[in-house]
Amino acid sequence: MELAFAKLDGLIPAVIQDHATREVLMLGFLNPEALEYTQLTGEVHFFSRTRQRLWKKGETSGHVLRVRQLLFDCDADSLLIRVEAVGPGVCHQGYQSCFFRELELDGTSHIVAERAFAVEEVYGKKGTQ
């Protein structure tokens, strides 16, 4: 099975979903190397677009994502990775899910989730993921 990395400059978006609750935790991008590391280690690796390097989710926080099921879509250009998320949350802003804000019609937003952990205790002051 060939995934369509070429459609997006060598990257493929991956939806990270909690395998038990079915909540969507985050979205990241994988390049072929990140997919290889993800499959070999059983823990999700991304390609960080900001840092332009391989990035094991949880390398700083310890909040790793253990792969339970790896699915791909009809066009083979997106992944859905069902995971067991270690720790209270995946978001570097202290929430269980990175999708903690709702966008309103008028362009304003509001927070719809409770903080799950203290950011500085987990990440230090840098706030990297």
Which residues of this protein are in contact with its own copies, per CB under 8 A? 1, 3, 7-8, 13, 15, 17, 21-24, 26-27, 39, 49, 69-75, 78-80, 91-93, 95, 98-103, 105, 107-109, 112
Q: How far is the CB of 126 from its own copies (least distance, A)?
A: 15
Nearer to its own copies, 64 or 90 (CB): 90
Helix and strand numbers (H, E) in the chain are 2, 8
Alpha-carbon span 108 to 44, nearest angstrom: 33
49 is written with which tokens? 């677009």
Q: How far is the CB of 28 from its own copies (least distance, A)?
A: 9
Chain Cα centroid distance, residue 8:
18
Nearer to its own copies, 74 or 121 (CB): 74
Nearer to its own copies, 108 or 126 (CB): 108
Q: How far is the CB of 64 from its own copies (least distance, A)?
A: 18
Four-residue CA torsion sign, 87, 88, 91, 96: positive
Q: How far is the CB of 115 from its own copies (least distance, A)?
A: 12
Alpha-carbon span 94 to 82, nearest angstrom: 21
Nearer to its own copies, 47 or 100 (CB): 100
Select from 66, 25, 31, 70 the least CA-distant residue to 52: 31
